[in-house]
């Protein structure tokens, strides 16, 4: 009887401490003191590893990824810093490629616009990205040793593709293929290709302007890329060949077609039609310059007015892009109505 009373007393006294310490001390019928663990203590112990591995583990992985990203960015900057510096300087100094500043901005906008699509792609890193990275480095070395800026600059795009394949895989590259490929418009053409395109455009623009001036009864004689007027001679230089507007219009048509049109044939047709649009608008600019020079003198072919006329004609060309797209849309709706 007394032992039973002793047990109940020992169990009842630590009723409050058991809530804080998670243990109950009591004496059994033989007088031996024993300790009983309760569920609160075991729950507390089992929850501690969850805090360690569940909280600190992801944080460590994030820090490790950030560290690797910083190291990788530093290596890319060391390798491609001089190449990118010269590229930006050419954008700034060469009027033919001043649109280069807008190309990476547009590509970044497309990446942000489609972020849910490519972020939701499964990560499937591929070792084939290493081969692409080696190709990029080989192109960089070859371009640097051969003083060929175009190869060195293209190797930067190849490097981006290799990094994407190695860390994220081919599905992610496919999801961001358009903004990645669009970056090619920020790289200037090699000089040999530039002049191979510019010279035929010069001759074509001069021939077009001569025909238009004859229709307007403005006396003009063409010799190569020269337009000989009664009071002056106009030379159609590389800057007036129309290649500048051609490159810009093609880049604009690709971007506009991607945003405004889903049909692939319309996108391709829109881009292809930029070649005649650029040639015709540049020929009209030369015609206007020749007419105004014949009526008002040499000053109409120089200075601010010449620059202003170039901008006006470019805006007309942009209007032609919109008009061509509207025409293609009407053709598409007519075909759909006929098929129904």
Q: Please write the tens of the pLDDT for every residue from 132-184.
A: 999 999 999 999 898 889 999 999 999 999 999 988 889 999 999 999 999 99
Lowest-confidence range among 93-102, 214-223, 290-299? 290-299
Residue 236 token pair: 């159609």
Token code pair at residue 295: 């009526």
Which residues are 251's β-sheet partners? Answer: none
pLDDT of residue 18: 43
Cβ density class 129-144: b for 16+ within 10 Å, e for less: beebbeebeebbeebb
Structure token pair of residue 194: 């530039």
Q: Where is pLDDT greater, at 260 or 31? A: 260
Average pLDDT, the chain: 81
- Closest C-alpha to 236, from 217, 222, 250, 247: 222
> What is the token pair recorded at 243?
């290649």
The arrangement of strands across the sheet holding 233-235 comes to: 221-223, 226-228, 233-235
**Residue spans per domain, the chain:** 2-41, 74-186, 191-339
Q: Are the C-beta atoms of residues 176 and 111 closer than 8 Å to each other? A: yes
Beta bridge partners of 35: 25
Q: How far apart, in whole angstroms, are the C-alpha atoms of residue 142 and residue 152?
A: 8
Q: Between these two residues, 258 and 237, which has the higher pLDDT value?
A: 258
Token pair of 90 as six digits: 């050419």
Which residues make beta-bridge pairs with 222? 227
DSSP assignment of 199-255: HHHHHHHHHHHHHHHHHTT---EEETTEEE-SS-EEE--GGGSSHHHHHHHHHHHHH
Q: How far apart are the first and last CA of the chain?
A: 101
Burial (CB count within 10 angstroms: exposed 0-12, middle 13-18, buried 19+), residue 44:
exposed
Convert the pLDDT of each residue in 47-81 to its tens digit: 444 444 444 566 776 677 678 778 888 888 888 99
* Average pLDDT of span 106-116: 93
What residues contact 277, with CB distance under 8 A and at least 6 apart?
249, 317, 320, 321, 324
**Token reading at 30:** 């033989």
Q: What is the dihedral sign for C-alpha 158, 160, 165, 169?
A: negative
| Residues with Cβ within 8 Å of residue 283, at least 6 apart in sequence | 204, 205, 208, 209, 212, 242
Ranked by mean pLDDT, which of 22-36, 128-142, 299-313 comes out on top?
A: 128-142
Residues 307 and 300: their CA atoms lie apart, in Å, by 10
């Amino acid at each position: 009887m007394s032992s039973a009373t002793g047990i109940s007393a020992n169990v009842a006294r630590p009723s409050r401490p058991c809530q804080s310490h998670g243990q109950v001390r009591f004496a059994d019928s033989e007088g031996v003191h024993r300790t009983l663990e309760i569920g609160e203590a075991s729950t507390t112990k089992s929850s501690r590893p969850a805090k360690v591995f569940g909280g600190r583990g992801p944080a460590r992985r994030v820090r490790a990824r950030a560290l690797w990203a910083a190291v990788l960015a530093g290596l890319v900057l060391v390798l491609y810093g001089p190449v990118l510096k010269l590229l930006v300087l050419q954008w700034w100094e060469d009027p033919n490629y001043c649109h280069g500043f807008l190309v990476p901005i547009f590509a970044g906008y497309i990446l942000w616009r489609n972020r849910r699509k490519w972020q939701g792609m499964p990560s499937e890193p591929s070792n084939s990205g290493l081969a692409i990275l080696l190709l990029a480095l080989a192109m960089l070395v070859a371009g640097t040793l051969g003083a060929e800026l175009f190869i060195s600059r293209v190797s930067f795009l190849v490097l981006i593709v290799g990094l994407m394949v190695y860390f994220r895989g081919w599905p992610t590259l496919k999801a961001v293929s358009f903004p990645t490929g669009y970056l090619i418009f920020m790289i200037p053409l090699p000089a040999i290709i530039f002049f191979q395109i510019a010279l035929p455009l010069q001759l074509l623009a001069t021939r077009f302007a001569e025909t238009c001036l004859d229709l307007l009864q403005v006396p003009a004689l063409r010799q190569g890329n020269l337009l000989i007027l009664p009071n002056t001679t106009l030379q159609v230089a590389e800057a007036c060949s129309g290649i500048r507007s051609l490159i810009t219009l093609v880049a604009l048509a690709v971007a506009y077609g991607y945003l405004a049109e889903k049909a692939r044939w319309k996108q391709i047709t829109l881009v292809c039609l930029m070649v005649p649009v650029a040639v015709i608008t540049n020929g009209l600019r030369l015609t206007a310059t020749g007419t105004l020079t014949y009526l008002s003198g040499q000053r109409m072919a120089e200075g601010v007015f010449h620059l202003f006329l170039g901008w006006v004609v470019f805006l007309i060309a942009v209007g032609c892009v919109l008009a061509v797209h509207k025409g293609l849309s009407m053709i598409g709706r007519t075909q759909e109505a006929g098929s129904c």
